[in-house]
Amino acid sequence: MHACRLAGQVAVITGAASGIGKATAAEFIRNGAKVIMADVQDDLGHSAAAELGPDAVYTRCDVADEAQVAAVVDLAVKRHGHLDILFNNAGISGAIPQDDMASMDLATFDRVIAVNARAVLHGIKHGARVMGPRRRGVILCTASAAGVIPVPNIPLYSISKATAVAIVRATAEPLARLGLRVNAVSPGGTRTPLMMRVISEMCPGITDEQLKLMEAADTTMDPEYIARAALYLASDDAKYVTGHNLVVDAGHSAYKGADVPPAR
């Protein structure tokens, strides 16, 4: 039986059609929330919302477009009367490889920053617009362990996620004046479609069997573990937590890749 830690609350989750976003939508709904699931993957999004039941609604949203983020926030308020949680979860890896600094594609960098960092500000701005007058609300952001310890193969992605964490820290105090909390969660290797696609692109020639072995390895985790971290940060259990980056990476950023098993 679930404790319904989010009973009566309304959440917007971007990038919610699959992976961490979908897992978090399910976790929030199990804990009593109503969720607006936003994404650009329409077929997956409609299917995910149908799977999660009447407390989930899908809508299309490209988070790089501020007007579309504003519209999702307005939809939540129109349907439910208020918004309590905004989870800036949508993200992209950008074109790979990214590690030739002499020929890096700055158009790729601009797109990655637009989705992974600037869009966080879109969510903060419009979340604060509707939450501020009520003087309550939580804004979350999916960053990455790659923003804590950069991954050499994907430096542009690592930069964007480090920037997202910086945004969370820099906006914590101004948002606190409005009675709002803002935090980040930084996943390590998580079994999502994005991660598996990145691995495929970083390792040309990898076989399907090798990919399955990597996906099943102890060094990667199911997205439900990130969803539970997001639930904690969204709930009153984290009432006194703001401006924080919660790293969920089995200790990789502490061990710095040392060849030791993760703590259990």
Please give the positions annotated as active site. 144, 157, 161
Instruction: Quote the CA–CA distance of 59 and 72 in Å, as a whole number.
Output: 7
Which token pair is 125? 């701005």
In order of 6, 143, 153, 184, 192, the CA distances from 199 in angstroms are 35, 18, 10, 24, 11
Residue 72 near residue 61, CB atoms below 8 Å: yes
Neighbours of 214 (CB within 10 A): 18
* Torsion angle of the four alpha carbons 106, 155, 212, 30, in this order, in degrees rounded to the nearest 10: -90
Residue 89 near residue 123, CB atoms below 8 Å: no
* Amino acid sitting at position 29: I
Instruction: Quote the CA–CA distance of 91 and 105 in Å, as a whole number.
Output: 18
Strands laid side by side in the 245-248 sheet: 56-60, 34-39, 10-14, 85-88, 138-142, 181-187, 245-248
**CB environment 167-181: b (16+ within 10 A), e (fewer):** bbeebbeebeebebb
